[in-house]
Amino acid sequence: MAHSTRFSRPCAALVHLLCFALPLVTQTALAAVAISSPSSPPAANANVVYSNFLGISLELSFINYYFGNSTDQIPQPVIKYLSALQSRASGQPVRLRLGGNSMDSSTYVPSQQEIIQFTNPNANFNDQPVNYGPQLFDVMKGVSSAVGGAQYLIGLSLRTPNSTNIPLLAGDASKALGDDLDALLLGNDYWTVFGNLQHTPQGDILSQDKIAGPTICCAWHYPQNNCQGKPQYGLNYYTAHANAVSLARWQQHGLELIAASPNRKPILMDEFNSASCGGVDGISNTFAASLWTADYALQMASVGYAGAYLHTRERGITYNLFDPPDAVAGGAGAWTTNPSFYGMLPVAEALSSANGSRVVDLNVQNSMSDKSATVAGEKTNIAWGGKTYAGVGDATPVDATFSSSLPDKTLSCSGGCTIQIPGPGLAVVFLGQTFDFSNSSSSSNTTSSSSPSAPASSNPSNRSGSGASRFSVTGLRLLSALCVFAIALAL
């Protein structure tokens, strides 16, 4: 089914669509849902976020599968993935985190030449400890240079709080990364060892700019726990916007305290994904995860988070954003792009204002509380802006040829715009008085969403509002239930 959404603000509109392959069936247009932008902006102290809001968290023990073993062996596909994010980030660095369970269980060895050495072949697959050396930070710096800028979070283990290697790790990382080091995180599963902080010198945290954590509230959690292989929720949980709303509020008290603080510090969700311990097959590796990633990210932005990091582990883990080749670490071969990565692209574009954005949940059709939704189970044929990574092994997107894929569209509207969103799908709509598409592939405009349209550039840097206010609206379309959920007001 397709659904029409009408925006009641005279404007020109640029529409980006996140779609998946639909069967060739007759689509029925549903009644249009009227969407109006807020009559007044959010409060002056509302949370401001940037286009690099969504970052990537990488499991320490498998970092060389993604970054290679030396600065001259950094895999080009991972550079392309990160560059795809950086190019949409309005000059902001890509957010990257080095962490996971193995960050707590592993040991930094300053004299070690290799990046990674596994130390326990019988370890639990959800926590594989390694020894790691300082060359890792040189490679991380090389990745940052190759993609035009990265901003790193690095975890410090709290399991052995008196270890002399912890300050050496912090010092070596700071020296190698310089300004690319955003913060040093105190622990991963910190609640398991939090009592130690009451009895050790490490509990006396100094006033340092680059120390972060452990938490503002309590033990963090994924949407559901799948560590025992018994997921509590099915696909429908992730396609209901109301569940993203409640999940984003679990640290609401801490968020409110920080927001009221005169020395307000940024709050980061340093690790999340669809389910703990690698995700759930049939959920984490489906188009629903693409939609949920974007939905939950923008919801976190609306309640006070400054950034969030989507976690990725070793090859073959269900919730991974992308998978390295079936080869030795850093080896050649085809990479695989997974659904969650697609969810990162519309978030970056929706928040593409260089001055930052404030995200507001519009609660359209009571979507903040209405949990009715249907499923979106496609795993491979997913497209953003008419481009797909399906069947691509080198991380270079190609034109999507499946029937439901739609290119970017430019609409000329009077008295409002009617936008058709295929179901299920997600649209990012930029509204403004005029748009300059001189750098795009075509400058043609269309008069309705059903008319033939030439694709416009999907790069936010190629759009200008000619001095007009610009709004970006994220529409989350799930079969018969339309949840146009957030409007990001560009500053």
For residues 92 and 189, the model is more confident at 92
Nearest CA to 94 out of 413, 331, 321, 304 is that of 321
pLDDT confidence of residue 237: 94
For residues 280 and 259, the model is more confident at 280
Q: What is the mean pLDDT of the segment spanning 13-20?
A: 66
Residue 437 has pLDDT above 50, yes or no: no
- Domains of the chain are 2-46+360-490 (no CATH), 54-354 (3.20.20.80)
Confidence tier at 189 by pLDDT (50, 70, 90): low
Q: What is the mean pLDDT of the segment spanning 177-195?
A: 74
Query: Which residues, in sequence order, are CB contacts of 28 under 8 Å at separation 6+?
Result: 1, 2
Average model confidence (pLDDT) across the chain: 80
Measured N-to-C along each axis, helices 339-350 and 287-303 cross at an angle, to the nearest 10 degrees, of: 40
For residues 388 and 458, the model is more confident at 388
Lowest-pLDDT range of 401-415, 431-445, 459-473: 459-473
